[in-house]
C-alpha cells in the first residue's frame, strides 16, 4: 500500500481502455485532483471478493455495507477502483507499484484462514 499523487501519464495508461469514452478526460482530471492509495490485495478469489466489497461501479446500484454503497453517490465521482480480472490486476499493479516495493511475507494467520495443506500420505488415510 502506498500513497501517491498520480501523474496524468500514469492515469491515462491505467484507464487506456476508456480512452475513447466521452468521460475519459474528466476521469483523468478527477483522479489527479488529490492523492490516491494504491494497494495490492492477495488471497483466495481476491479479485471477485474485492469487487463484492467495493460494490457496483454505479454507486446507486451498490448495496449498503460496500465501499461504494456507503461512501459514493455518483459514478463519475467514485472513490475506489478495483481490477476486474487477475490479468488486469497484474497489469495495474505493474503501473502503480514497483516490484521492490512489494513485501513478501507469510502471515501467521494463513493456516487459520486457509487451513493446512495435507500431505499426500495424510490424504490417503
Whether 14 sits among the annotated catalytic residues: the reply is no
Q: How far apart (Å, rounded) are the C-alpha atoms in residues 50 and 83?
A: 9
29 backbone dihedrals φ, ψ, rounded to 5°: -60, -45
The cell for 23 is 468521460
Asked if 103 contacts 50 with a C-beta cutoff of 8 angstroms, the reply is no
**Given 13, 32, 67, 81, the catalytic residue:** 81
Query: Please, which residues have CB within 8 angstroms of residue 62's CB and are 6 or more apart in sequence?
Result: 55, 56, 68, 69, 72
The residues carrying an active-site annotation are 81
Amino acid at each position: 500500500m502506498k500513497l501517491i499523487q498520480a501523474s496524468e501519464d500514469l492515469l491515462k495508461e491505467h484507464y487506456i481502455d476508456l480512452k475513447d469514452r466521452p468521460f475519459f478526460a474528466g476521469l483523468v482530471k478527477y483522479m489527479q485532483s488529490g492523492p490516491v492509495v494504491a494497494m495490492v490485495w492477495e488471497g483466495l478469489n481476491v479479485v471477485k471478493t474485492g469487487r463484492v466489497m467495493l460494490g457496483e461501479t454505479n454507486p446507486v446500484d451498490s448495496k449498503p455495507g460496500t465501499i461504494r454503497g456507503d461512501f459514493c453517490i455518483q459514478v463519475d465521482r467514485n472513490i475506489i477502483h478495483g481490477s476486474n480480472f487477475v490479468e488486469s490486476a497484474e497489469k495495474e499493479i505493474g503501473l502503480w507499484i514497483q516490484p521492490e516495493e512489494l513485501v513478501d511475507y507469510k502471515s501467521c494467520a494463513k493456516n487459520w484462514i486457509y487451513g493446512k495443506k495435507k500431505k499426500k500420505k495424510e490424504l490417503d488415510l
